Amino acid sequence: MKYIDYYEVLGVPRDASTADIKKAYRKLAHQYHPDVSKETGAEDKFKKIAEAYATLKDPEKRAAYDNLGRHAQGEEFVPPHAWQEHFHESAADFSDVDLADLLAAFAAAQRAERRQRPLRGQDFDVTVPVTLEDVYHGSETEISVALPEYDAQGLLHRVPKTFHVRIPKGAADGQRLRLPGKGGSGLNGGKPGDLYIVIAIRPHKLYRMDGRDLYIDLPLAPWEAALGAPVRVPTPGGEVEMTIPPGTTSERRLRLAGRGLPSADGKHGDLYAVVHIALPARLTDRERELFQQLAKESRFNPRAALQSRTGAAQ
Amino acid sequence: MTIRITESVWQHASQLCSLQDIIDASGLTKEDVLELIDMGIIQPSNLEAEHYSFQIQCVTLARTARRLRDDFDLDASGLTMALRLLGRIDELETELNRLRIRLGGRGARQP
């Protein structure tokens, strides 16, 4: 079992009052609570903070924790002999037990009545990152989670499990798969919790997603935009040829109907190619010559609208 | 140990659930959930109080409510306010993201 220095997690001295502990917790919770924080790793950080607070705010649990002695943060340690006796049958293996679960089991054991009441197992959310291609075609993946299971003494062990999950074609970002009864185990005859698998579609290097619709940047040479041209555009279902109409301006969105992501009902979103006029990084002598010739001969004034409003401005 | 999933349910946005489902999945009491409905935070799909049904996303919302209430020690009024503001941030972020996606080029960055 790994030792966690809860006082250090909350940034309080070991003799801190309950009020100071609460204050420190609140401050950190405001900063790291996953529902309000945008910081990376906030969820894991908050888990530690909440665990520390749950132990230190409860005088009984705090006393039990202090009783474990002081160890370095993260140090592997074995609970003192008296503790092992308390959980005599499982004493051989504390390696897959979390410190917080051990303290919770200890506190529950102190209050004998708690042991009688059926407790429903915890629900768990596991986020599964998938690619855009996975949801376009449908795919299969394996998910590994360490789920808590009670032993005969009411002590929770983190048991690693792997689930084989089918990602259906047309799965949406944030969509949830519910696995009834596959969450944490219940206590005293309580029902097991559920496991939820949450789809998170990873950002794609080419496509941006807006629901079922996809957006892709489509660079065009000035002459392609001016004269129109057939161009090849990648889509998740394979490359397609697209006809650029003459006089296409920058930022124009060209729609490829039905080339977006599928939805569960079999319909497809659209793919939008957003036009950007691109120029060669360096012009050849001949290109410069041709542009100069165009500049000389064209009577096109792109700023006509600005000038008509402000009068003489050039 | 690999477990092949036999019994599982993909939840779609169009799926509906009952008041009891929300209570079971969130850990909120019936009174808590009714309060959130009263305050317009959770919106049922129908108006018959005896047989409320909810879109499945309401479960996520109710679970967030339970977390915020417990983790921040919020009373009903504080909780409603926090959820309202979070909902507003969510809307703004969605809109901002949508504009970035449509804009393309250098403006576009997915979160």
Asked if residue B111 is part of any domain, the answer here is no
Asked if residue B110 is part of any domain, the answer here is no
**How many residues in chain A?**
314
Alpha carbon dihedral A76, A79, A85, A88, in 10-degree steps, equals -30
pLDDT in tens, B78-97: 999 999 999 999 999 999 99
Asked if residue B107 is part of any domain, the answer here is no
| Cα of A43 vs its chain's centroid, Å | 10
CATH number of the domain at B30, please: 1.10.1660.10
Q: Which residues of B touch A184 (CB under 8 A)?
A: none
Percentage of residues in chain A with pLDDT exceeding 70?
89
Instruction: Please tell me if residue A165 touches chain B, with a CB cutoff of 8 Å.
Output: yes
The span from the CA of A17 to the CA of A56, in Å, is 10
Domain hosting B29: range is: 16-102
Q: Which residues of B touch A179 (CB under 8 A)?
A: 5, 7-8
Provide the β-strand partners of residue A196.
A125, A178
Asked if residue B89 is part of any domain, the answer here is yes
Would you say residue B111 has pLDDT above 70?
no
Nearest-Cα distance to chain B for A181, in Å, is 10
Of B8, B67, B82, the CB nearest to A177: B8
Give the chain A residue whose CA is nearest to the CA of B109. Answer: A208
pLDDT in tens, A83-102: 666 655 544 567 777 787 77
Nearest to B36 by CA among B12, B13, B52: B52
Asked if residue B75 is part of any domain, the answer here is yes
Asked if residue B7 is part of any domain, the answer here is no
Number of domains in chain B: 1
Nearest-Cα distance to chain A for B110, in Å, is 6
Interface test with B, best of A39, A158, A163, A198 (most B CBs within 10 A): A163
> How many Cβ atoms from other residues are within 10 Å of residue A220's Cβ?
20
Pairing of strands A213-220, A240-244: unpaired
Instruction: Please tell me if residue B39 touches chain A, with a CB cutoff of 8 Å.
Output: no
Nearest-Cα distance to chain B for A112, in Å, is 23
Asked if residue B8 is part of any domain, the answer here is no
Q: Report residue B37: phi and psi, to 5°.
A: -70, -45
Provide the β-strand partners of residue A178.
A196, B9
Q: Which residues of B touch A264 (CB under 8 A)?
A: 10, 12
Asked if residue B2 is part of any domain, the answer here is no
Give the chain B residue whose CA is nearest to the CA of A193. Answer: B25
Provide the β-strand partners of residue A273.
A216, A254
Consecutive H or E run containing A152: none
Question: Residue A21, exposed/middle/buried by CB under 10 A (0-12, 13-18, 19+)?
Answer: buried
The span from the CA of A62 to the CA of A124, in Å, is 27
ipTM exceeding the 0.85 mark? no
A278 and A220 Cβ atoms separated by less than 8 Å: yes
**How many residues in chain B?**
111
- For A62-105, list the strands marked E by DSSP: none
Give pTM, 2 decimals. 0.75
